[in-house]
Amino acid sequence: MTYSPITIREVTLHRMVMRLKDPFTTSFGTFQDREFFVIEMEDETGAIGFGESVAFLSPWYSEETVESNKHIMEQFLIPLLLESPINHPDEVSKRFESIRRNHMAKSALEGAVWDLYAKRKANPLYKELGGSKQQIEVGISIGIQPTPKELAQVVEGFVNEGYKRIKVKIKPGADYEMLKEVRRHFPDILLMADANSAYTLKDINLLKKLDELDLMMIEQPLAYDDIIDHSKLQTELVTPICLDESIHSLEDARKAVELGSCKIINIKIGRVGGITESKKIHDYCAQQGIPVWCGGMLESGIGRAHNIALTTLPQFVMPGDTAGSSRYWEKDIIQPEVIVENGLIHVPNKPGIGYEVNRQVLEQYRVDKIVRSNKNILA
Ligand SMILES: O=C(O)CCC(=O)C1=CC=C[C@@H](O)[C@@H]1C(=O)O
Ligand SMILES: [Mg+2]
């Protein structure tokens, strides 16, 4: 089958504000309004692809923000995309190479190109990525709760809903006792903790105590830019360390694995700069026997759909953070919404990301719109 290169006619950045059903608390603080960009990309045939920028309003998880994403996309990345036609989405990260970091901005646009590419071929995105799972196993991420008892109640709700793995956010002062209470009530669940870099090696005794609780893993216990101290910590712990914030690329993954800084990697498409880089990390981890799972960034349905497609790859052997739409949203911007049944999401077999964007809901939550047309082609 011949396939003509994609010429992008127009890129629209929809600036969105969606209120989470409940406030989300991590070791960095609490927030409830999720602000982000939906990327809409139209090609010369009128086909449309969607992407999502996952940076937060303030730079607490990484250095990127909603504003920095806007600046980098508008001023640098979109002009590079419009320069010439694109043969394959794998070319996008190459084209962005002259721009350092800003992975979430890059990934948002690359995600829209992947969707567009798959739609032009009338093929589901997951098949284009080489995935084959028809359903994926998912877990849930629970923000820090006021007391161990309240946490255990929240966990109970999600266990009853069937989620396959429970992740609990921790920070100093809200860690061992919290997890112990959960473990006491649920001796057999797959339980893990995410510290979002809230500890240092000085906390080694507390971190070693967590070994008592038979955790599946502890995610990013130490600094967001560290792999050295994590490697020291891993030699002292039975519990596997999973890295999130420290891994931005295949190179980071390789170095962390070679140093023994982690035994598991959380792949977030936005953090590593896109689906192409995510696949490279996945393939490397498969060779090395390192399990991976797909992290979440409190995405709308569009980002969720990309995560689902990626998770169909074989080395995603652990349940990820891609919960159902109704976990966070009163009304998601896709239809059908992402549904979790018994901890499973059925992978849609429609072209591209496999879900339709609900224009009415998109407009309801949209606070701004930026349109960039390709001056090189006639409208
Ligand atoms: O449900 C999700 O989308 C996962 C939420 C989640 O755990 C996180 C989202 C964003 C930053 C962090 O707080 C955290 C993570 O580190 O994985
Ligand atoms: Mg994390």
Residue pair 82/95 in contact by the 8 Å Cβ criterion? no
Residue pair 219/266 in contact by the 8 Å Cβ criterion? yes
- Whole-number pLDDT of residue 2: 59
The Cα 122–Cα 349 span in angstroms is: 10
- Whole-number pLDDT of residue 27: 81
Domains of the chain: residue spans and CATH: 8-123+357-373 (3.30.390.10), 127-353 (3.20.20.120)
Tell me: is residue 181 an annotated ligand-binding position.
no
347 phi and psi angles, rounded to 5 deg: -80, 125
| b/e code 83-98 from CB counts within 10 Å (16+ = b) | eeebeebbbbbebbee
Tell me: is residue 244 an annotated ligand-binding position.
yes
pTM assigned to the model: 0.97
Contacts of 279 (CB under 8 A, 6+ apart): 129, 130, 310, 313
Closest by Cα among 17, 43, 205, 24 to 119? 43
User: What is the full DSSP assignment across 49-73?
Assistant: EEEEE--BSSTTSSS-BHHHHHHHI
Catalytic annotation present for 375: no
State in Å: Cα 321 to ligand 2 middle: 10
State in Å: Cα 151 to ligand 1 middle: 17
The Cα 139–Cα 327 span in angstroms is: 11
Assigned token pair, 199 = 């500890």
For atom 8 of ligand 1, the residue with the nearest CA is: 297
What residues does 17 pair with on adjacent strands?
35
Catalytic annotation present for 268: yes
- Whole-number pLDDT of residue 3: 74
163 phi and psi angles, rounded to 5 deg: -55, 140
Tell me: is residue 90 an annotated ligand-binding position.
no
At 277 the three-state DSSP class reads helix
User: What is the full DSSP assignment across 124-155?
Assistant: BHHHHTT---SEEEB-EEE---SSHHHHHHHH
Q: Which of 167, 169, 171, 280 is catalytic?
A: 169
| pLDDT digits (tens), the chain, 379 positions | 557 999 999 999 999 999 999 999 888 888 899 999 999 999 999 999 999 999 999 999 999 999 999 999 999 999 999 999 999 999 999 999 999 999 999 999 999 999 999 999 999 999 999 999 999 999 999 999 999 999 999 999 999 999 999 999 999 999 999 999 999 999 999 999 999 999 999 999 999 999 999 999 999 999 999 999 999 999 999 999 999 999 999 999 999 999 999 999 999 999 999 999 999 999 999 999 999 999 999 999 999 999 999 999 999 999 999 999 999 999 999 999 999 999 999 999 999 999 999 999 999 999 999 999 998 875 5
Query: Ligand 1 pocket test: which of 27, 28, 52, 61 has the largest number of ligand atoms within 8 Å of its C-beta?
Result: 61
- Whole-number pLDDT of residue 376: 81
CA distances, 375 to each of 85, 132, 243 (Å): 13, 39, 43
- Whole-number pLDDT of residue 379: 53
Ligand 1 atom, smallest distance to 296 CA? 3
Residue written as token pair 């100093």 = 172
Ligand 1 atom, smallest distance to 26 CA? 13
